[in-house]
């Protein structure tokens, strides 16, 4: 491995001069600094991460707290993770992946030991036990997902309320008057997954406003329960002409259910989901959807975090809560209902 000593020799300066030239801790002439930088490039010198962390208080690592919960859909979570880690790398940071079941303890361990310069949290709950730890930590934090209390943190999320209203309005314009909304399982709600009730409450309110009957139910997230529950819904509400899905597992299971029942989209049933375009491609899903924008949310969170990490001005900025406006990606799965 190339050491700072090798750099100093190549630049013809003392070890401490080379070190000061790199750390910027003392004034070094531009000419010497240039010689040292040239030697660094020529030799491919990379400072020891531990030494760099102590010398600069920077680790160049971002912590990513992501839980793979049994009742949420792992492939959807992966997209958020990649949005974060790809953006971090573009900005010169590595990503420490933390998947501990006990997020609060993990967060305390990571922040106390100064392993990271900042943190991104996924799976944010309404009353998230990790947030008091994050607020007390010396490093800044950004959330993908809206908690009940946003103070002291930057927050990025899809505008789920507007997503619910858009789904209902789109179907209303086509002439639908009875719809089913399948949300995530009830235990996701119990755990504090606010995105479930935010979309559902807004959809119910908009349905009342438009004179639409909306059957709002919690779905399942695992096979074979998810297929059975979709079949049960279609049996229970035979007059419903449209299906709204805020549940990736239900969207992935629906093609098989419709095939089995001999139903065609959009002739027999109109369908709108809420998931990413990447998800639709991987799972070959033919349904129009509200784009959940996982890559964009990950990118926004990391960019804001790095602004706070890297500059005084960034640190001093007021905290933000930013919503991505939902967009409907048309895959021709909705039409006027049969009369």
Separation CA 225–CA 68 (nearest Å)? 19
CB of 283 to a copy of itself, least distance (A): 7
Comparison of 112 and 317: residue with beta carbon closer to a copy of itself: 112
Asked if 118 and 140 touch (Cβ cutoff 8 Å), the reply is yes
Site for a copy of itself in 190-229 (CB under 8 A): 222-224, 227
Expressed in percent and rounded to 5, the helix, strand and coil fractions of the chain are 50, 15, 35
Q: Which of 180, 193, 177 is nearest to 233 (CA)?
A: 180
Q: The tokens 């800044």 sit on which residue? A: 140
**Residue 177 burial class via C-beta count within 10 angstroms: exposed 0-12, middle 13-18, buried 19 and up:** middle
Q: Give residue 250's Cα distance to chain centre.
A: 20
Q: Which of 49, 129, 321, 336 binds a copy of itself (CB under 8 A)?
A: 49
Residue 2 contacts a copy of itself per CB under 8 A: yes
Q: Which of 25, 68, 152, 228 binds a copy of itself (CB under 8 A)?
A: 68
Q: Which residues contact 68 (CB under 8 A, 6 or more apart)?
A: 74, 77, 99
Residue 95 contacts a copy of itself per CB under 8 A: yes
Structure tokens at 5: 């000593």
Which window, 17-25, 45-53, 117-125, 267-275, contacts a copy of itself (CB under 8 A)? 45-53
Q: Which residues contact 100 (CB under 8 A, 6 or more apart)?
A: 67, 106
One symbol per residue from 282 to 311: x for binding a copy of itself (CB under 8 A), - otherwise; what is it? xxx---------------------------
Residue 48 contacts a copy of itself per CB under 8 A: yes
Asked if 158 and 324 touch (Cβ cutoff 8 Å), the reply is yes
Residue 101 falls in which region: left (phi positive, over 0), alpha (psi -120 to 50) or beta:
alpha
Asked if 47 and 24 touch (Cβ cutoff 8 Å), the reply is no
Comparison of 180 and 226: residue with beta carbon closer to a copy of itself: 226
Other Cβ atoms less than 10 A from the Cβ of 242: the count is: 28
CB of 182 to a copy of itself, least distance (A): 16
Q: Which of 32, 69, 78, 150 binds a copy of itself (CB under 8 A)?
A: 78
Separation CA 170–CA 176 (nearest Å)? 9
Residue 61 contacts a copy of itself per CB under 8 A: yes
User: What DSSP string describes 183-240?
Assistant: ES-HHHHHTT-HHHHHHHHHHHHHHHHHT-EEEEEE---STTHHHHHHHHHHHH-TT-
Which window, 29-37, 94-102, 172-180, 310-318, contacts a copy of itself (CB under 8 A)? 94-102
Comparison of 114 and 210: residue with beta carbon closer to a copy of itself: 114
In the three-class reduction of DSSP (H, G, I as helix; E, B as strand; rest coil), residue 244 is classed as strand
Residue 26 contacts a copy of itself per CB under 8 A: no
Residue 94 contacts a copy of itself per CB under 8 A: yes
Q: Which of 8, 252, 301, 309 binds a copy of itself (CB under 8 A)?
A: 252
CB of 48 to a copy of itself, least distance (A): 5
CB of 228 to a copy of itself, least distance (A): 12
CA distances from 2 to 5, 10, 34, 38, 230 (A): 8, 11, 18, 14, 61
Residue 330 contacts a copy of itself per CB under 8 A: no
One symbol per residue from 122 to 141: x for binding a copy of itself (CB under 8 A), - otherwise; what is it? ----------------x---
Residue 338 contacts a copy of itself per CB under 8 A: no
Please report, as ranges, the residues that interact with a copy of itself according to CB under 8 A.
1-2, 44, 46-54, 59, 61, 64, 68, 73-75, 78, 81-82, 85-86, 89, 94-100, 108-110, 112-115, 138, 222-224, 227, 252-253, 255-256, 259, 281-284
């Amino acid at each position: 491995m190339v050491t700072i000593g090798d750099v100093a020799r190549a630049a013809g300066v003392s070890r401490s001069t080379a070190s000061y030239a790199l750390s910027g801790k003392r004034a070094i002439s531009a000419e010497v600094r240039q010689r040292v930088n040239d030697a660094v490039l020529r030799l491919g010198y990379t400072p020891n991460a531990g030494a760099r962390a102590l010398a600069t208080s920077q680790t160049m690592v971002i912590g990513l707290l992501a839980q793979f919960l049994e009742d949420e859909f792992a492939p959807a979570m992966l997209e958020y993770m990649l949005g974060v880690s790809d953006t971090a790398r573009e900005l010169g940071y590595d990503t420490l992946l933390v998947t501990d079941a006990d997020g609060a303890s993990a967060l305390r361990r990571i922040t106390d030991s100064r392993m990271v310069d900042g943190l991104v949290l996924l799976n944010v709950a309404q009353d998230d036990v990790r947030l008091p730890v994050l607020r007390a930590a010396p490093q800044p934090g950004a959330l993908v997902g809206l908690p009940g209390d946003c103070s002291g943190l930057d927050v990025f999320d899809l505008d789920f309320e507007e997503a619910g209203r858009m789904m209902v309005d789109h179907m209303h314009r086509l002439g639908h008057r009875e719809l089913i909304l399948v949300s995530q399982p009830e235990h996701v709600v119990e755990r504090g997954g606010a995105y479930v009730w935010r979309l559902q409450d807004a959809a119910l309110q908009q349905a009342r406003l438009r004179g639409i009957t909306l059957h709002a139910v919690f779905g399942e997230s695992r096979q074979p329960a998810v297929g059975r529950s979709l079949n049960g819904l279609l049996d229970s509400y035979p007059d419903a002409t449209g299906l709204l899905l805020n549940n990736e597992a239900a969207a992935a299971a629906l093609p098989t259910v419709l095939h089995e029942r001999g139903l065609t989209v959009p002739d027999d049933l109109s369908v709108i989901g809420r998931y990413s375009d990447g998800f639709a491609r991987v799972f070959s899903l033919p349904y129009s959807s509200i784009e959940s924008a996982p890559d964009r949310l990950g990118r926004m969170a990391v960019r804001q975090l790095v602004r706070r990490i890297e500059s005084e001005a960034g640190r001093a900025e007021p905290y933000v809560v930013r919503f991505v406006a939902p967009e409907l990606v048309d895959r021709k799965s909705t039409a006027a209902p049969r009369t």
